[in-house]
Amino acid sequence: MRAKETEPNPSPFGAFILISLPLWGRLGEGKTIKHTKTMTTISLLKRRELRQNATSSENLLWQQLRNKRFCGLKFRRQHDLGPFILDFYCHELKLCIELDGDGHHSHQAEYYDSQRTAFLNECGITVLRFSNETVINNMSGLLACIKEFADNPRVQSGYHKDGI
């Protein structure tokens, strides 16, 4: 009897989770969406995986933001919002901080980032986007940029990339 050939089981955490899942809960602008227990479990596992495999830049910035160390603000790491997982999120300011590595320079990644940013902006969330190099080479400038936003959040809403 011949052994049954099996294809490798694809990870349930692929791009499908980040792009195609329906949203859940209530988000800004009255968007009400469906919620399922399976989605929550997958999201939890994906967030855990992202935290365990964080880049050195993410770890460096997290050391500055965690436990209300930065301006007394509570930041969450790998926070899910709708179909997206945000690198860092401060609910009090409705602020998302995203760190971009080399993979964010392709046209496909830039398009995905623009769609994600548009969605977050519709929900009233401002996105500050920094490169990994900025975190490593100019942490004080990066933190100053975040502090400037924290001091005047409504003035600077929208999207900002390496605003140092």
pLDDT tens for 69-98 read 999 999 999 898 888 889 999 999 999 999
Higher-pLDDT residue of 96, 26: 96
Which homologous superfamily is 15-161 in? VSR Endonuclease (3.40.960.10)
Distances (CA, A) of 130 to 42, 91, 118, 145, 164: 27, 19, 17, 10, 9
pLDDT of residue 45: 76
The string of pLDDT tens digits covering residues 148-158 is 999 987 655 55
Q: What average pLDDT does the chain have?
A: 75
Report residue 144 as tokens.
């100053």
Most confident stretch, 22-31, 45-54, 59-68:
59-68
Contact 117, 127 (CB under 8 A): yes
- Residue 60 near residue 135 (C-beta atoms within 8 A): yes
